[in-house]
Structure 1
Amino acid sequence: MNLLGLIVEYNPFHNGHLYHLKKSKEITKATHTIAIMSGSFLQRGEPALLDKYTRAEIAVKNGVDLVIELPTLYACQSAEIFSHGAIATLNSLNCVNSICFGSEEGNTDILYIISKILVEEPVEFKIALRNYLDQGLVFPTARSKALYDYISENNLVSITEEILQNTLNSSNNILGIEYIKSLLRLNSNIKPYTISRIVSEYNSTEISHSDICSATAIRNSLRDDLSLEQIEKVVPTTTLHSIEDKIKNNFRPVFDSMFYDLLRGIVIRDQEFLHKYFEVNEGIENKIYSNIFTCNTLEELIHSTKSKRYTMTKIKRTLNNILLGINKDDILKTKDISTLPYIRVLAFNNKGREIIREIKNSSDIEIITKFSKISHIDDAVFNILIKYDIKSSNIYNMIYYKNNSSLLKGPMDYYLSPTYIR
């Protein structure tokens, strides 16, 4: 078995994802694929458009063999924590041969060199970084200059300072570097590959004439129009039909604005404890609290809280941590673990069953298909991670099941089972 690992959100699964999946299989010569997919809430601090089981089912219908959920505590955090959680999950299985991610760079050579320097922190690099910081440069600029100096002086690769800076500032390159850093820190045998993102279309916020666009453009279209006509050409038919079926059955696409009333109540109730939530630092809780009374929408709150220090994405993640009650102590206890105590299966096919058997042979990790069979009740890390998985599902389902309240039986993680696509 040649097992390829993918780290995904599929929000929703579109033609760009299908291209990435096929190309990844091709360059790694994989016989089987496993996707680590974010669940109810995602890396930018947003809820998923569709529930995790539906998104996993769509992925399997399009060629992924097994989809497992990335624990919530990692799924909605910064690139470093997100990447470590995903890589640690794959590495814990002891049977994954490779990963393949999209990047603006399209080649792992320079990404690997950068990652290795950042992990090993050679003395010359650290001295150069300190000198640039002492000159008053902001950390990203100082780090970029120190990296360029070290790479140039040691003839590691031919690259201009401008290209290096662009590489470090590109969103998918950033994730790729974090993936490789985690592989190095874990001394993993998993080999990293990358393919080029179709940058112009990927970064677009509107659907154009092309059959590939960004997930953001698709979500924007669905926010404005549920007729689905605009997205027909940019998603596989399985995605289109799934969204269509969900809407017909009164399960509407979910957006972050739908949680604003709930968030306002939490901020007001927890005013004295806001500082305990992860990424709530340097008094930003006071700004959030004062703005929550005058801002009528989530968008207004984000814009009124934004500053040079806090980007919109940073604020969204901070607010999401407040919404989900993710506290600093729990992140501290789990963010650097090398082995995950469990995986949660969301969907699989016949090859996926083969992967599960292989995982059972190669690892002692607990494979959760039904919550009634959970056994790690005395494991502190297990209990922290599973607590947030359940909580995030419950909060998400308050909105997702709003038009189908009779179908909400309770904590749905205890009632839903993985989808088997034969």
Structure 2
Amino acid sequence: MNILGLIVEYNPFHNGHLYHLLKSKEITGATHTVAIMSGNFLQRGEPALFDKYTRAEMAVKNGVDLVIELPTMFACQSAEIFSYGAVNTLNSLNCINSICFGSEEGNIDTLSTISKILVNEPEEFRSLLKKYLNDGILFPTARSSALFDYISKYNLLDISKEELLDILNSSNNILGLEYIKSLLKLDSNIKPYTIARISASYNSENITSNICSATAIRRSLKENNNLSQISDVVPSPTYSTMKNKISSNFSPMFDDKYFDLLSSIILRDANILDTYFDVNEGIENKIYQSVFTSNSLNDLQQAVKSKRYTLTKIKRTLNNILLGITKEDMNKVKNIQAMPYARVLAFNDNGREIIKAIKTNSEINIINKFANVAFNMNNNEFKTLISYDIKSSNMYNMIYYRNNRDLLKGPMDYFITPIYVR
């Protein structure tokens, strides 16, 4: 069995994801695939279009064999924390042969060389970085300059400074570098691969061909509220699954639907906002003052955004407040060496074979029926992580089920079992 690991959000699963899946299997020779997928809240600090089980079902219907949830505390954070959590989950399964990710660079050797320098921080690189910082240069620029000087001196890559900057500043390259860095930190045997992204960029907001970004798809759904607009850019299993959910009165979710709830939390917790993760340097005061004059979530985000804090950073910070993710709890788990559990969301027959391999090779707790999670609540890391998974599902579902309140039985993590796609 040759098992490929993928790190995904599938928000939603589109034609570009299908290309990535098929190409990844081709270049790794994989016979089986595991996707580590964000749950109901995502890395940009926003809710997923559809719930995690629905998106996992889409993934398996499109060819993924097993979908495992990335714990919420990692799923909603910066590239470094997100990547470490996802790679740690794959590594903890102890049966994954490879990982393959999309990147703008498309050359694994280039990304690996850069990652090794950033992880190992050779003494000469540290000296160069210190010199640039002492000259008053901001850290990102100082790091790229030190990196280029070090690479050039030892002729490690044939690359210009402009090309290096492009690599360091491109969305998927950033994630790719963090994936490789995490593999190195964990001393993992998983082999990394990458494929070049095709057509639309990660942040492109327009649908111009049959392969476009998830951002463009979400924008189209929000503006047009019409699935037919995206029928050519998603595989048929995605389209039919989304159509069934919408016909069942489950509308696509967008972050502005949480504005009232978030505003109430900000006002209630005004005196403890600085205890939440990523709320630093007095930004809590700006958030508190801005909520009074904001008529929408976008208003609030724009009011708090600055040259120092990007929009994505603000969205993640506000999401941490929404979900109540504290600095204290994040410090308990962000550097753990092994993930304490693997939460199964969906699988097929090949997925069953992978689960057997995990049970044979790893001591990780596999969660199928959520009612059984109490068996390891004495483990502090387990308890912290799983508690936020439950909380985020509850927060998500309070809005997601607003047209189906009769179906909301309680904390839905305890009522929904993994989806078996035959």
Question: Contact 1:11–1:48 at 8 Å: present in 2 too?
Answer: yes
- In the alignment, does 2:357 pair up with 1:355? no
2:318 paired residue number: 319
1:116-155 mapped onto 2 (5 Å cutoff): 116-155=116-155
Question: Contact 1:73–1:331 at 8 Å: present in 2 too?
Answer: yes
1:381 paired residue number: 381
Question: Contact 1:89–1:340 at 8 Å: present in 2 too?
Answer: yes
* 1: CA distance, partners of 2:259 / 2:376: 35
Question: Contact 1:207–1:230 at 8 Å: present in 2 too?
Answer: no
Question: Contact 1:257–1:299 at 8 Å: present in 2 too?
Answer: yes
Deviation at 1:202, TM superposition (A): 4.2
TM-score for the superposition, normalised by structure 1: 0.99
* 2: CA distance, partners of 1:395 / 1:200: 32
1:106 paired residue number: 106
Deviation at 1:199, TM superposition (A): 5.1
1:148-187 mapped onto 2 (5 Å cutoff): 148-187=148-187
Deviation at 1:224, TM superposition (A): 1.5
TM-score for the superposition, normalised by structure 2: 0.99
Aligned residue type for 1:316: K
Runs of 4+ in 1 over 6 A off after TM superposition: none
1:207 paired residue number: 207
Moved more, 15-24 or 151-160: 151-160
SS at match of 2:228: coil
Aligned residue type for 2:355: I
Question: Contact 1:129–1:142 at 8 Å: present in 2 too?
Answer: yes
1:242-282 Cα deviation digits (max 9, x unpaired): 11111111000000000000000000000000000000000
* 5+ long unaligned stretches in structure 1: none
* 2: CA distance, partners of 1:173 / 1:89: 20
Deviation at 1:183, TM superposition (A): 0.3
Deviation at 1:112, TM superposition (A): 0.6
Aligned residue type for 2:294: C
Deviation at 1:151, TM superposition (A): 0.6
SS at match of 1:293: helix
Aligned residue type for 1:362: N
The share of aligned pairs that are identical, in percent, is 67
* 2: CA distance, partners of 1:91 / 1:202: 26
Count residues with an aligned counterpart.
421
Question: Contact 2:200–2:211 at 8 Å: present in 1 too?
Answer: no
Change (3 A) 1:161 1:201: closer
Question: Contact 1:277–1:322 at 8 Å: present in 2 too?
Answer: yes
* 2: CA distance, partners of 1:294 / 1:397: 27
Question: Contact 1:77–1:317 at 8 Å: present in 2 too?
Answer: yes
1:278-329 Cα deviation digits (max 9, x unpaired): 0000000000000001100000111111101000000000000000000001
Deviation at 1:20, TM superposition (A): 0.3
2:268 paired residue number: 269
2:399 paired residue number: 399
Deviation at 1:200, TM superposition (A): 3.6
1:367 paired residue number: 366
SS at match of 1:245: helix
Question: Contact 1:201–1:212 at 8 Å: present in 2 too?
Answer: no
Moved more, 105-114 or 253-262: 105-114
